[in-house]
Structure 1
Amino acid sequence: MSAVYAVAGLEVHAGDRAIVRGVDFAIAAGECVALVGASGSGKSQTCLAPFGLSPLRAMGSARLCGEELVGADEARLRLLRAAHAGFVFQQPLTALTPHLRIGRQLDEAWRQAGAPRPDRRDLVTLMARVGLDRGDEWLDQYPHRLSGGQRQRVMIAAAIAHGPRLLVADEPTTALDAGLRRDVMALIARLRREEGLALLLVSHDLPAVAEHADRVVVLEEGHVAEAGDAARIFAEPRADYTRALIAASPRLTDPRPDLPLAGGTLLEARGVAVSFPRPGWRRGRIAAVAGVSIGLGRGEGLAIVGGSGSGKSTLGRAIARIGPADAGAVRWQGRDLPPRKAMRPGDRRLIQPVFQDPVASLDPQWRVADIIAEPLRHLRPGLDAAARDEAVARAIAEVELEPAIARRRPATLSGGQAQRVAIARALVAEPEMLLLDEATSALDVLVAGRVLDLLARLQRARGLAILFISHDLAVARRLCGRIAVMEGGRIVEEGDMEAVIRTPCHPVTRALVAASA
């Protein structure tokens, strides 16, 4: 069977330095080859550089439908991409054009290979192919109006609209909850079978790779550590690096972590409610959080888990007073915290957030030192320049980064380094509680494990309370002894983490446990 896409002796160079070297693989129609490895191993550059979608230079050979990509000029690459390849990227909200309606973006994707302009029924049919049965309702909406799962389905629709022979999926499920990850991978697998697509998959979701890939290429620091049949590699990995990757994936069957005991009550949220206007022309409001009450002790970890759209992030932001709230009270050690717009610096520093996408949460124009120092200027204005510099240096050391990183900018950081910078920025304000909103979901399993270990050490050393928002029970279990499960803006089950995992009562909880098993 001839290959739709084949690379041989592929190298990717940053200036005179080869950051990827000696990569070989081929993908036939209907097959899936997965690239796996830690952050910085070269997966995305191997995937994107031959297509001219990276500022780095590809060398060697990469042939798409018999046409050589390496060495082709930009005009030729654009034609080959439009004719034969579709791309699904990691962050659909940033990959989609924010000021264009969904229908306009699908129309452009449909026509990129020279096809005649589709009518609205064609676009509705395209949306239905990717599981958006009410496609006509969303064609006139902007990307921010869709959920994460809906945006990713739109991205897949755009990728297949022009009938490509190769689908390149670079971390297509990173930002999604466990159920949606499974659904999106099932959708991609179905399209691969029905359309006969060759699939190049980049992922750190090893269970999904084990389920869907025919062959696996394991990359370690730019070279191939191991390659071969997927079933063999996951059953009998030969390279130490591959074994480390597989072992780093958290499981609910792992031994119970030794967590710190909770101190006295630190935070109480009572009857928190948040609503938003309905999208489009429809009147009324949607209740995102409906009268939720939770409590958190000093030094305790509480996991808020649930599917996309369950209200967990909205609840967390309302509690931390960085998002809106229609009703309810948040009490801190027995006193009411003021509303979001009335928060004083002394109150603001108590709860500090760390968000999902580490690079997107950092100002790309600023140096790391300035990013970490920014909270000090607002929350600890009495510090002089020397004291701020000293506090920044301590925070950098506390998150186990080299001092020289202070002079760098976010674009030069790996995902793990960027998330440590975000944690340092939160710590420098001397908070008593961290709001961690999917803080490791964008990281590979090795880096995520190191970040979780760092957070566990900081939790003990500082006596930090942690409100951990996640869709992954196995990850949340690393830091949290209690759990609250959300669905439809309400808490449907809560209690001791181990007891809830062992005997889940609500169907949503049972589904989350099954997805994390």
Structure 2
Amino acid sequence: MSLYRLDAMGVTIDGRDLVRGVSLEIAPGECVALAGASGSGKSLTSLTPFGLSAGTITGSAMLEGQELAGLDEADLRKVRRASVGFVFQQPLTALTPHRTAAQHLTESAMQAGGARPDRNTLVAMLDAVGLADPAIKLRRYPHQLSGGERQRLMIACAIAHRPKLLIADEPVSALDAHLRAEIMALLTRLRRETGMGLLLVSHDLASLEHHADRVLVMQGGQVVEAGAAQAIARAPQHAYSQALWAATPSLNAALPDDLHVPGAPLVEAQDLTVRFAGNGLFTRPVIAVDAVDLTVHQGEAVALIGGSGSGKSTIGRAIAGLGPVSAGAMLWKGAPLPARRSREQRRMIQPVFQDPVASLDPRWRVSDIIAEPLVHLRPDLTSWGRAGLVKKALQMVELDGALADRTPAGLSGGQAQRVAIARALVAEPQMLVLDEATSALDPLVAVQIVALLKRLQRDQGIAMLVITHDLALAAQFCHRAAVLEAGRIVEQGPMAQLIAEPQAAMTIKLVAAS
């Protein structure tokens, strides 16, 4: 008897058939993956049977012989609480901001009627998903964790009550290649030891070869190819599957030879140090960034690469003027950048955040979102002047002007990322700080975003600090890279040199995992 089964399942929203005729079966301990680009229907297929989308299910969905189609919310809640765990794609919006990691884990462990876990058990839960210093992280809130740390906390919560079925929607997209392999190996071990079934949503065909038993490739709400994971990953037959595979970044690909020639030093960080106070009387301050020296030249793209919690985003926020600086100096074109920056200094360096959907105000129209920086940084402009720059920014990121009246809910993941980039460009900066700008995107969309960034670099001469865990993707448009570990730069140099002759242990590990 199968653990979970879909028969000709569909999903309708407002009378539109967004998913049609999906059939699959998951046995205890088995992993079945749904692969495809953004908007292909993967998340709707995985979440709708459990009442976690705006869609209405058609056809059949059965969990341990119980029909889910037609159940009301109260009954679906009982099913979710007792038998199913969920790992969502965007951990920052899925976790409760005013609860600590310990409170999240305690609630998850007790949701099926289990006993309250003690502190040692909670520490073991975080340790099992590879979270460093788990005893310290228990006291932290979601905003005090890095993107990858939040993702691992969510995975720990999802499996805390020992579910029979785990629905994992891009569970490792925010993690570096090495940790991605570790987390997937953990999920594989758990399902084999406990008999937990896994429905995995992913756009990474390469990783599915090693971690899934079977793969269903979706396009436009339908399954276009299905079969054994190894067969599809190694030799996809459908043209769409082949396009997904071809778009997956690889260190075996040739490095670009058409990058913009860098100019004079633009931003220089000298002995940059960032400390955060501890959460309790007996907790020592945390040194997130330790005496880092980093230079970005005009028109240059520099990648900050490292594992989750290595200090990448903290450095980016410090350079952008969005985070604290405890010690060291920051220079802009050779002149000191003060802690309290002028309006013009803030305009010159603009951020693009890790989670495009969470960084866009859900109540605002796209035109208002893009215009917001101008209200604060260009008060000299009239409303007509702002509208002109918004139109120009939309054109620069190749977005249809008709999208200007939409809200973020009406955008795809790729469109939301382009809006976030347009918001950064509208102030006409000389440098962008891109924090995991493509980690939540499928390969087809990520390739488009990389092409856009290369064009901006070439045509506008914009410098970029690229915070990423994806070495293969960074190699497609970055001149140099700096590898971080525990808040320190352990190696930096030209991208080609780091890939061909890595020296530091962390660099060797990242190159091997990529």
Which TM-score tier does this pair reach, normalised by the shorter chain?
over 0.9
1:358-437 matches, cutoff 5 A = 358-437=356-435
Counterpart-to-counterpart distance in 2, 1:135 and 1:432: 40
TM-superposed deviation, 1:109: 2.2
Alpha-carbon spacing, 1:125–1:252, altered in 2? closer, same or farther (3 Å): closer
Q: Which runs of 5+ in 2 are unaligned?
A: none
SS at match of 2:250: coil
Check whether the contact 2:366–2:405 (CA below 8 A) recurs between aligned residues: yes
- Normalising by the residue count of structure 2, what TM-score does the alignment of the two structures yield? 0.95
User: Which residue of structure 2 lines up, in the alignment, with residue 15 of structure 1?
Assistant: 14
Counterpart-to-counterpart distance in 2, 1:391 and 1:149: 35
Matched, 1:302 2:302: yes
User: Which residue of structure 1 lines up, in the alignment, with residue 324 of structure 2?
Assistant: 324
Counterpart-to-counterpart distance in 1, 2:133 and 2:328: 34
With 98-107 and 473-482 compared, the bigger mean Cα shift is at: 98-107
User: Which residue of structure 1 lines up, in the alignment, with residue 478 of structure 2?
Assistant: 480
Alpha-carbon spacing, 1:492–1:66, altered in 2? closer, same or farther (3 Å): same
Counterpart-to-counterpart distance in 2, 1:28 and 1:434: 47
Alpha-carbon spacing, 1:76–1:38, altered in 2? closer, same or farther (3 Å): same
Alpha-carbon spacing, 1:243–1:103, altered in 2? closer, same or farther (3 Å): same
Alpha-carbon spacing, 1:94–1:280, altered in 2? closer, same or farther (3 Å): farther
Quick one: percent identity of the two aligned structures?
Answer: 57
Counterpart-to-counterpart distance in 2, 1:17 and 1:491: 51
Deviations 1:450-472 (A, max 9, x none): 01101111111101111111111
TM-superposed deviation, 1:490: 1.6
Deviations 1:129-183 (A, max 9, x none): 5456975555454344445454434323332333321111111111122222122
With 192-201 and 126-135 compared, the bigger mean Cα shift is at: 126-135
TM-superposed deviation, 1:383: 1.1
SS at match of 2:302: strand
Check whether the contact 2:139–2:279 (CA below 8 A) recurs between aligned residues: no
Check whether the contact 2:277–2:284 (CA below 8 A) recurs between aligned residues: yes
Counterpart-to-counterpart distance in 2, 1:136 and 1:352: 35
Counterpart-to-counterpart distance in 2, 1:345 and 1:298: 20
User: Which residue of structure 2 lines up, in the alignment, with residue 490 of structure 1?
Assistant: 488
TM-superposed deviation, 1:221: 1.2
Alpha-carbon spacing, 1:128–1:299, altered in 2? closer, same or farther (3 Å): closer
Counterpart-to-counterpart distance in 1, 2:45 and 2:127: 32
Counterpart-to-counterpart distance in 2, 1:437 and 1:78: 36
Check whether the contact 2:148–2:309 (CA below 8 A) recurs between aligned residues: no
Matched, 1:51 2:50: yes
Check whether the contact 1:145–1:279 (CA below 8 A) recurs between aligned residues: no
Check whether the contact 1:305–1:484 (CA below 8 A) recurs between aligned residues: yes
Check whether the contact 1:12–1:59 (CA below 8 A) recurs between aligned residues: yes
How many residues matched? 513
Deviations 1:332-379 (A, max 9, x none): 22222221xx21111111111111111111111110000001111111
Alpha-carbon spacing, 1:28–1:282, altered in 2? closer, same or farther (3 Å): same
TM-superposed deviation, 1:285: 1.7
Matched, 1:230 2:223: no
Counterpart-to-counterpart distance in 1, 2:239 and 2:92: 36
Counterpart-to-counterpart distance in 1, 2:344 and 2:459: 22
Counterpart-to-counterpart distance in 1, 2:481 and 2:118: 48
User: Which residue of structure 2 lines up, in the alignment, with residue 293 of structure 1?
Assistant: 293
TM-superposed deviation, 1:408: 0.4
TM-superposed deviation, 1:267: 2.2
Output the amino acid matched with 2:470: D
Deviations 1:188-213 (A, max 9, x none): 11101111111000012322212100
Alpha-carbon spacing, 1:50–1:289, altered in 2? closer, same or farther (3 Å): same
Output the amino acid matched with 1:312: K
Check whether the contact 1:141–1:280 (CA below 8 A) recurs between aligned residues: no
**What is the Cα-based RMSD across aligned positions, in Å?**
1.9
Alpha-carbon spacing, 1:92–1:336, altered in 2? closer, same or farther (3 Å): same
User: Which residue of structure 2 lines up, in the alignment, with residue 84 of structure 1?
Assistant: 83
Counterpart-to-counterpart distance in 2, 1:316 and 1:6: 45
Counterpart-to-counterpart distance in 2, 1:259 and 1:489: 29
Output the amino acid matched with 1:497: M
User: Which residue of structure 2 lines up, in the alignment, with residue 266 of structure 1?
Assistant: 266
Check whether the contact 2:108–2:157 (CA below 8 A) recurs between aligned residues: yes
- Normalising by the residue count of structure 1, what TM-score does the alignment of the two structures yield? 0.95
1:350-361 matches, cutoff 5 A = 350-361=348-359
User: Which residue of structure 1 lines up, in the alignment, with residue 38 of structure 2?
Assistant: 39
Alpha-carbon spacing, 1:174–1:500, altered in 2? closer, same or farther (3 Å): same
Q: Which runs of 5+ in 1 are unaligned?
A: none
1:58-457 matches, cutoff 5 A = 58-120=57-119, 123=122, 126-127=125-126, 129-130=128-129, 138-257=137-256, 258-339=258-339, 342-457=340-455
Alpha-carbon spacing, 1:322–1:24, altered in 2? closer, same or farther (3 Å): same
Deviations 1:258-303 (A, max 9, x none): 2111122222222211111124343432221122122222111111
With 406-415 and 257-266 compared, the bigger mean Cα shift is at: 257-266
SS at match of 1:349: helix
Counterpart-to-counterpart distance in 1, 2:500 and 2:117: 51
SS at match of 1:426: helix
Alpha-carbon spacing, 1:42–1:328, altered in 2? closer, same or farther (3 Å): same
Output the amino acid matched with 1:413: L
SS at match of 2:357: coil
SS at match of 2:493: strand
With 301-310 and 16-25 compared, the bigger mean Cα shift is at: 301-310
Check whether the contact 1:274–1:324 (CA below 8 A) recurs between aligned residues: yes
